[in-house]
Structure 1
Amino acid sequence: MNKVRESSVLYIAPLQEELDTAPLPPSSESFRDMPKAVCKQCKKSFPLQILTNHIKTCSDVVVVEDENQDEILYKAHDVESKKNNNEKGCCPVCQEEMPLDILEVHASECGERPLDDEINNTTELSCLDNEVNDTECSYMDNDWKTHPDPKMAADLYRKEIFRLHETGKPLLMCMDLRSGVEEQERQLINFYKQRHVEWACPVKCQLQGDATVGDGVTRHFFSTVLEKLKYGFSLNLGNTGVTCLFEREPDHLVPSSSQFLIESDLFLVAGRMLGHSFLHGGPCFAGLSRAFVHVLLQGSEDTATLQLEDCPDVDIRETIDLLSGHSPLNEDQSSKVLELCLSWDLPGPTEGNRRWLYERLLSHAVLGKRTRQIKQIRRGLKETFVWNLLNERKDVAFFPKESEDSCSPEMLLSHISWHRGDDEDDDDDDEYSPDIKERITGYLKQFIETDVCWDTKTQ
């Protein structure tokens, strides 16, 4: 005869509060009636439940009595690390000497402190992450969203942003031409490392050591900023002769994978530079990898069109290229591919997964290793108020190809060695006086800045 089992219903009440999982201090009332033992190292009494963990760290703790409370505060000290951290290094931004164990942390924040109000005239942000908030968007003229010409749409967007921030305190950009190139670059990095800056406010540029004034000075600043971004800084950041934030050949540029540059937030600085230059009519950054631009503007990695030239590491590129053909791999080639696959947690090569593996390796080499750089650049673009435009108008050429980029007067002027009246090799019996030479030089500068057509597509 079959037995009938009675069923029961179990009700579980949901948790309505978060449980506190923090370890209890030794003086907690919960340990009052539990057995205790004295630690032979510090001579303190501890409950048996936590004595084991205490013994492991007892030699490395300093016990400090709090005068206002009965509980004991514990501070961990690693003695050995102090002995090994006597080596010092020099911060590449401020040139201050400090222990190596804190150098990277310091470098990530160096220059971010706001300058004196009389110097930078910065204002605190009125919205989270410096993005255009809902209130501000409601006052914007949205003609830029529907204008058929992308260039005109970008100009309309700039005008709207400037209109909303025209009453803000202007930002003052200074560069001392009497100092060396490294010092000038350090001034630029420190300016863009500042926190809580409203980048859409009016900007004033000054060249110390030069009497030049006007829009030409502003163009010189932003041309210098974009040139340093594209071709590298002379500052010795990360033990390199020239610090390049972007690497490889034109139209395939991608951010450097240097951990030092990432930890120093220099790609956040790069994003601010790109957005700030765009807002104030400066040059754009040309030559970035199309696949990188696609993902940067929130496109999917799966739909990015990757090219082998996008991989900046030559050795990795050659290894990945072994999978592009159809001929069987020899033992040495198979070993190289397998070693790379294992280092990136991918399966080894087979005849069936060869094409798939090629695409996965290339995607990781170009995009997977640059996730943090993408986030930092994107954050910098948001802080400079250009992200809204890039989201709404995908047709705006914010990152043009190298062939689409037009040469600017500032780019040419910065590569010309101009005559100086105090040159030692001047001939006393020269046909032209210094005043005439200076006047001719001025005419040439004016001609380059105002009369030459710089649109490469119409030349």
Structure 2
Amino acid sequence: MLYKRNLLQQKEDEPMLKMCLDMKEDIEDQEARIITFYKVHNADWARPLQCRLEGDAATGEGVKRHFLSMMMTKLHKGFKGNFGHGTSTLLFEGQVDHLIPCTSQVLVQSDLFKMAGRMIGHSFLHGGPPLTGISPAVLHVLLGGSPETATLVLEDVADIDIRETIQLLSLADCSKKANGERGDNELTEHQRGAVNDLALSWDLPVLTETNQAWLLQSLLLHAVLRRTSQQIKQLRKGLQESMLWPLLEARPDVVDVVFPRQSKAECSAQMVLNYIIWPGEGDNEDDDGCPVAIKCRIAGYLRQFVETVTEDKRKQLVKF
């Protein structure tokens, strides 16, 4: 993309950002290094990136891609370390394509969502993988849209207990409309009590005969966006610090590239093949004296592998 190419070219002569991971360390220690790296204030994330894996002989661009892939996997699936609310730390929760920021205030107080924004922007600038599966409602607000104009669905509610309570209103509302507003599917006393308890806990009015549809949308709004407003603000701040925000502001259409849906983040054979620079007839021998014919034969084996393996295997391949 022209934006990141120009940005990286402007910074190519500046001192490198250096990241070193000791592969012999425990996972928690490696994660601590990653978190420390991305919690540095006022870092210029467009500067050249140099990654080194201690205990591994690998060098070059493959190490950088491996690091960025590992970092984004941690962001997507969670860190092993405990930040005070369980045995691990999950920054985004919910189901695929409806992920929302975790509502834990401990994570907000630790500025971990600002860190997440820096990670996302840094990975994008240096050719790493994107963060997939974020709820469209969260992205709408992240890009400056009003929470009231976001399209919310039950699948956006990450907490299953809360979702089931809100769903009571959804089912009753659908039944009421289907039966000509006769209200043939009234909630039981226990169900009304569960809805009212949830509404009161969020300072919303209790259920009445006339506010069912309004209360349904208000509960969805609070469950998905009101409780995550600070997290979204931190995420936006991290994107600003990573220099990705100007692009998102100027070109909102690229949000599908930066935050693709899981279904669009497939790793097809053609996608992988398009990113490989294949040896050609005009190539010279490598420094180690490898003839072009041998390089072409090896490249043929690689092409056959990419075209025939499963998508999971291809994803493992592009990580390094």
**Do both share a fold (TM > 0.5)?**
yes
Counterpart in the other structure of 1:141: none
Percent same amino acid at aligned positions? Answer: 49
Does the aligned pair in 1 maintain the 2:65–2:128 contact within 8 Å?
Answer: yes
Change (3 A) 1:361 1:399: same
Equivalence for 2:123? 277
Which of structure 1's runs of 4+ aligned residues deviate more than 2 A?
406-409, 453-456
Task: Decide which of 210, 234, 245 is 1:352's aligned counterpart.
Answer: 210
Q: Which residue does 2:100 correspond to in 1?
A: 254
1:402 to 262, 284, 301: 262
Structure-2 residue corresponding to 1:452: 306
1:164 correspondence with 2:14 = no
- Unaligned runs of 5+ residues in structure 1 are 1-154, 410-442
TM-score by length of 2: 0.79
Residue-by-residue CA offset, 1:123-175 (whole Å, 9 max, x unaligned): xxxxxxxxxxxxxxxxxxxxxxxxxxxxxxxx100111112222221100111
Matched pairs, number = 268
Could you say what the CA RMSD is over the residues aligned between the two structures, in angstroms? Answer: 2.3
Per-residue deviation, 1:356: 0.8
Matched letter for residue 347 of structure 1: P
Structure 1 residues 229-244: aligned runs within 5 Å: 229-244=75-90
Q: What residue in structure 1 maps to residue 245 of structure 2? A: 387
Cα distance, 1:198 vs structure 2? 0.7
Q: After superposition, give the CA deviation of every residue in 1:86-131 in whole Å (9 maximum; x if it has no partner).
A: xxxxxxxxxxxxxxxxxxxxxxxxxxxxxxxxxxxxxxxxxxxxxx
Do the aligned partners of 2:42 and 2:241 also contact (CA within 8 Å) in 1? no
Q: Which residue of 2 aligns with 1:315?
A: 161
Please tell me whether residue 297 in structure 1 is matched to residue 130 in structure 2.
no
Change in CA separation of 1:220 and 1:259 when aligned onto 2, cut-off 3 Å: same
Match of 1:182 in 2: 28
CA deviation digits over 1:340-383, x for unaligned, max 9? 11111111111211011100100100000001100110000000
Match of 1:263 in 2: 109
For the structure 1 residues 408 and 273, does the alpha-carbon distance in structure 2 shift closer, same or farther, using more than 3 Å as the test? farther
Partner of 2:196: 338
Contact 2:16 2:50 in 1 (8 A): yes
Displacement after TM superposition at 1:247 (Å): 0.7
Deviation at 1:404, TM superposition (A): 0.3
Distance 2:310 2:37 in 1: 31
Gaps of 5+ in 2: 177-184, 270-297, 315-320
The Cα shift of 1:203 comes to 0.6
Counterpart AA for 1:365: A
Contact 1:406–1:455 under 8 Å retained in 2: no
Q: CA deviation at 1:455?
A: 11
Higher helix share: 2
Per-residue Cα deviation, 1:282-310 (whole angstroms, up to 9, x for no partner): 00011111111111111111221111011
1:408 and 1:271 mapped to 2: Cα distance? Answer: 27
TM-score by length of 1: 0.56
Task: Indicate conservation of the 8 Å contact 1:226/1:285, yes or no.
Answer: yes
Kindly provide the amino acid, as one letter, of the partner of residue 452 in structure 1. V
Larger Rg: 1
Higher relative contact order (CA 8 A, sep 6+): 2
Structure-to-structure mapping, 1:193-232, within 5 angstroms: 193-232=39-78
AA partner of residue 58 (structure 2): T
1:249-280 Cα offsets, whole Å, 9 max, x none, are: 11111111111111111111100000000000
